[in-house]
Each structure stands twice: as C-alpha cells, then as structure tokens.
Chains A and B, each alone.
Chain A
Amino acid sequence: MLLYVFYILSAITLGTAFLTVISKNAIHSAIYLVVCFFSLAGHYLLFNAQFLAVVHIIVYAGAIMVLLLFTLMLMNLNNEDETSKPLYTKFAAVISAGLLCLVLIAALRKALPENIEYVNSGTDFQSIKVLGKVLLNEYAVPFEFASVLLLVSMIGAVLISKKEEKI
C-alpha cells in the first residue's frame, strides 16, 4: 500500500518538476512547482515528519512561490517571451543533464548496497518537541546564525532595490 503511495507521489513529484522546467509559460511552471512542493510534503508525511511537512508547505508553497508568482505578475511575464534558442543549445542541455543523471545514478548505484537494512527502533526523533530541543540547544548557534543570513539577504534585497540618494 505505502509502496504504491510512494510510487504515485514520486511520479507526481518528478512529473511536475519536469513540467515545471519545460513549461513555456512561467505561470504554468509556477503552478506545477506548487504541485511538486505539495507532493514533496506528501513524502514528508510518509516519513511521519508532520512538522516538517507543514513548514515546508508554509515556506515553499506559501512564501517562496508567492514571491515568485508576485514577481512574475509584477513583471507581467505570464506570456511566453523567452527568445527561441538554437537547437544545439537545447540538445547540449539535454545531453549534459542526461549525462549528469546517468553518472550520478550510476555512481550512487555503485556506492549503495542492494538492500540497506533498516531497523525501526521506535525512538521519537522527529516530533516537534525533539526537533525544538535539538534546534535550540545543539543547533542554537546555526539557528542564530541563520538570522544573520536572513538579515544579509534582507539588507541585500533592499540595497539592490532601493534608489540611491546622494547626500
């Protein structure tokens, strides 16, 4: 049962991801991407990582996608205005991405044993409580440091967008 769910979800994930990158219309891409994110959230749920799934939805589907869509709308880019490229560049893209895929998977297949034993010990490791503890004890420094990161990006975004005034 779960296996089928996994396959379906995986198919959705990959399919929508693929559609995202090949859709001519950027809005369509965005929609597909949202679907992709939801399917990923489904995967998280399969892992029993409910908190993560929720956060994922909020951050990606809620924040990032909205930001992207907003920008798209702002620029009025909903219709196709991407100049058509020569065929060979597309060809090169397909070849190289395919090669990357092939090589990466081959490497992984070579590295991974056929069946990795998984033992479920039943310990709680992904409830909000545990995550919170880990995040704010062990990972307090990176947690705080992430704020610096966000601060930088915030200042940066403002810096680039704001008009310079001479004094």
Chain B
Amino acid sequence: MNILETVGINNYIMLSALLFCIGAFGLLYRRNAIIMFMSIEIMLNAVNLLLVAFSSYHEDPSGQVFVFFTMAVAAAEVAVGLAILVSVFRNIGNIDIDNLKNLKG
C-alpha cells in the first residue's frame, strides 16, 4: 500500500510547488532577515518533499539520499546565514533588511 496509489504524484508535485511559492512569497514579502531565512527553509523543504515523492514514485533510494545532502546544505546555509545575521545585528542593531541599502547604483 503506497500513498501514491491513492493520492497520485501530481498532487504532491502541486503541493511542493505551492510550498515553494509560499517560501518565495515570504522572501519577497518580509524584510525580517530571520523570517526570510525561514522562507528559504520552507523552499528547501518543498524540494525535499518533491524528492521524497519522486523517490517513492521511482522506487529509487537515491532521491532520499539526496534529501540528506539537501539537509546538510540547509544546515550549513543556516549556520553561515545566522553568522552573517549576527554580525549585521551587531553593527546596525536590528535585522531589517531594508536598512541595508548602502550599496547601490
């Protein structure tokens, strides 16, 4: 018994596409850096979901293996991102991206 038999791969693709778009929306909509990070996490998770679904669909383990790498990447990104965030915070006292407009033109 497999979920794909009932639900179908299409629905999962749509689901992860929607989730991805919500992440993108968050990135556009918010200027709070932490929430933007979260949006990025949402996007990565959408991809993970997609990978898992495809892995099931193809009955192939490499998709799930790839999810581990994605997780590693997500973790690494968050670590670096937060480090940058912290130094931004130390310099300007908040984490509103709109304050970062020195570089332009």
Interface residues of A (CB under 8 A from B): 2-3, 6, 10, 13-14, 17-18, 20-23, 26, 29-30, 33, 36-37, 40, 43-44, 46-49, 52, 55-56, 59-60, 63-64, 67-68, 71-72, 74-75, 77, 81-83, 85, 90, 92-94, 96-98, 100-101, 104-105, 108, 112, 114-116, 118, 120-121, 123, 125-126, 130-131, 134-135, 138-139, 142, 146, 149-150, 152-154, 156-161
A-B pairs under 8 A by CB, number: 232
Asked if residues A21 and B82 are in contact (CB atoms below 8 Å), the reply is: no
Q: A71-B86, A125-B61 are in contact. Are A2 and B3 (CB under 8 A)?
A: yes
Interface residues of B (CB under 8 A from A): 1-11, 13-15, 17-26, 28-32, 34-35, 37-39, 41-42, 45, 48-49, 52-53, 55-57, 59-62, 64-65, 67-69, 71-80, 82-87, 89, 94-96, 98
Asked if residues A139 and B71 are in contact (CB atoms below 8 Å), the reply is: no
Asked if residues A105 and B17 are in contact (CB atoms below 8 Å), the reply is: yes
Q: Is the interface of A mostly helix, strand, loop or mixed?
A: helix
- Selected contact of A33 from candidates B14, B41, B57, B77, CB within 8 Å: B41
A to B CB contacts below 8 Å, 10 in the list: A17-B22, A22-B29, A33-B42, A48-B3, A49-B56, A56-B71, A60-B41, A82-B96, A90-B29, A105-B18
Cβ–Cβ < 8 Å partners of B49 in chain A: 40, 43
Cβ–Cβ < 8 Å partners of A75 in chain B: 86, 89, 95
Q: How far is the CB of B47 from the nearest CB of chain A, in Å? A: 11
Q: How far is the CB of A153 from the nearest CB of chain B, in Å? A: 4
- Selected contact of B6 from candidates A6, A59, A81, A126, CB within 8 Å: A6
Residue among B1, B28, B55, B69 with the highest chain A CB neighbour number at 10 A: B28
Complex CA distance for A41 and B89, rounded to whole angstroms: 33
